[in-house]
Copies of this chain bind each other. A is one copy, B any other.
Amino acid sequence: MKRLHWVDYGLVIGFLALAGALTAASPVFLTWSNLMNVARQVSINGLLAAGETFVVLSAGIDISVGSTMALAGAVVAGVGLAHGFALGGLAALLVGTAVGLANGLFVVRFRVPAFIATLAMLGIARGATLIYTQGRPISGLPESFLFIGNGWLGPVPFPVVLMLATYAAAHVTLRYTAFGRYVYAVGGNARAARYAGIHTEKVLYAVYAIAGFLAAVGGIVLTSRLASADPQAGVGIELDAIAAVVLGGASLFGGEGSVLRTLLGALILGVLNNGMNLLNVSPFYQEVIKGAVILFAVVVGNWRPRSQGQFKTGG
């Protein structure tokens, strides 16, 4: 995947420029404690974005990840309080995966456009969460469960370890397993993939299941981090997850992108939020500045020698 070279390079420059500016502007930015702080804040969107990367690579889109996360977060708390958190976690992961498989079912079997199928699921999972929680946060979770979201492994927060492990696994899966290679094939040209004997349907089921599963992991981390399950958790977070993926250079048209660059995308978004808070930028101006910085980072990141990819538009 040589062609992606410049994208890589550019985005790293954009990221470093941003980090450099923040280091200059705030004395605390480049401290270990703040960096870990940012990493922990990124971890939840990072988990969702990792799953979203699979879907986007397959030329799909999943906008239900935020709701799925909330549902799984409620399930881990509810089931956990009733039957213990091992079971709670398992139940949450199962629910997340099931939601993903349902998305896959509608996309594959009933040929519902992914945007619509997952939009419907966004509503269904959110409704299910509200019904399950009666619209109230589930709190009173035991200290032991809070480790997942708040604990440290040595100098690194546990959610960060979890996120990094997920990215490592996702990267290896996408690059070194047959399934991973099939994801690119299906996303690049579903027809040619089918002609090459790839079971495109199975691949699609799998990518949505992975997105659902990782959304559930995110939900568990979030519930643990907040020591409560918020039925309104993750409203609108799908935009952040997709933004991380696309910022990382993946094409919404499928077949192009890398999960490591998604991580970079998620980090850029996280650093941006952190920087705004550190610099105490007025909330009214934050959105403007964030938008401007994202554009700047991408424009810098896009710079490359002439005559490449000149037909790329949209997407």
Contact = CB atoms under 8 A, between A and B. Distances in A.
A-B residue pairs, 4 tightest by C-beta: A127-B288, A127-B287, A123-B291, A114-B315
A15 to B, nearest CB: 14
Nearest to A134: B284
26 contacts: A59-B253, A59-B313, A63-B239, A106-B299, A107-B313, A108-B313, A110-B298, A111-B312, A111-B313, A113-B246, A113-B298, A113-B315, A114-B314, A115-B246, A115-B315, A116-B243, A120-B292, A121-B291, A123-B287, A123-B294, A127-B289, A131-B288, A190-B313, A204-B313, A204-B314, A252-B315
Interface string A179-192: 00000001100110
Q: Is the contact region of chain A dominated by helix, strand, or loop, or is it mixed?
A: helix
A292 B124 CA distance: 7
B302 A110 contact: yes
Interface of A: 58-61, 63, 106-108, 110-117, 119-124, 126-128, 130-131, 134-135, 186-187, 190-191, 194, 200, 204, 236, 239, 242-243, 246-247, 251-254, 283-292, 294-295, 298-299, 302, 309, 311-315
Contacts of A295: 106, 110, 112, 116-117, 120
Contacts of A59: 253, 313-315
A190 B311 contact: yes
A59 B315 CA distance: 6
A128 B313 contact: no
B252 A113 contact: yes
Given A252-B61, A284-B131, A291 B120 contact: yes
Contacts of A311: 190-191, 194
A252 B60 CA distance: 10
Given A190-B314, A194-B311, A291 B112 contact: no
Contacts of A253: 59, 253
B111 A302 contact: yes
A119 to B, nearest CB: 5
